[in-house]
Amino acid sequence: MPELSRVLVTGGSGFIAGHLILRLLADGYRVRTTVRNINRENDIRATLGRAGAEVDRLDIVAADLTSDGGWDEAVRGCEFVQHVASPFPARQPDNEDEIIIPAREGTLRVLEAASAHRVRRVVITSSFAAIGYSPKPSGQPYDETDWTDTNDPVSPYVKSKTVAERAAWDFAARPGSPEVAVVNPVGVFGPPLDGNLSTSVQIIDALLHGRPPLLPRASFAVVDVRDVADLLIRAMTDPRAAGQRYLAAAGQPVTLPDIAAVLRRRLGAAAAAVPRHQLPDWAVRAAARFAPPLRELSGLLGTPKAVNNSKAITQLGWHPRPIADTVTATADGLLRLSSAVAADR
């Protein structure tokens, strides 16, 4: 296989970044990735190696979104940059600037370094959070023309993704800036590479363990992490993607009870603990007043947010997996991890 260009992937220990690195290496690219703590290098190499990656074409360097140090070295010699890293707190911070400032300033640091080293294109992994958290007329789908209004009552995370993407497009408008493309995934599921589970994958893990015992009718759109990686590469290489946003969704939103039903239907005995009974919306909203973790969930009740994923499909030839296959692959991956941990004991 001929050796292709070098690509920088920021945030190499993350869920999306891990699958993106796997795909880039499989496609023949040389890859450099950043981590905040270089002590993570051996773990990342081991994780990717177990997944079948040829890690001899992978360089790992230290760089932090909150500091200027390391970004010049990280970008030097790269033709493309995939900016995936972004703060994702375990809980919403009391001070929204704790997440908004690193997201915005980190994106600008990456773009400044990319501009200085004449990178051809920067692809930014944004989020549906930057598209779909301001009201639309009932039933109208969200697409790439929509923006979340940060003046609306949105969470710090949603605001951070919107502010960071807006800053990226402002930067891209400067003369001499590298090409920019943006991918906005919905809830990202798929097979985990290690035990450091993303927030979305934790939902499937909880269901397999019987939590919550009563299922809220929260709804969200789903996309497979492997399809996100595929779209990120298409956005990197296709000339038509320069200056474009792409909503990454496999289809219309599904509810938590829908996902539970897929697990029971596809996994049989392995899904014995998956809850069956639903919790009324009014009960979720009432409990959310006293249980902060339920506040985000209560915002996903009611009419699902319809999405339009046709732009990535028609313009870039992207073909996402069916949602049921993604849910099943996520659960299968979690079960394999659990078996591997048990075997090591």
Q: What angle do CA 8, 14, 19 make, to 5 degrees?
A: 70
DSSP-assigned letter for residue 178: P
* Residues designated as active site: 161
CA nearest to 235, candidates 226, 224, 227, 244:
244
Residue type, 169: W
Name the pairing type of β-strands 254-255 and 219-220.
antiparallel
CA terminus-to-terminus distance, the chain: 40
Place of tokens 């239907």: 265
Name the pairing type of β-strands 219-220 and 222-224.
unpaired
The Cα 131–Cα 148 span in angstroms is 5
- The CA radius of gyration of the chain, in Å to the nearest whole number, is 20
DSSP-assigned letter for residue 307: B
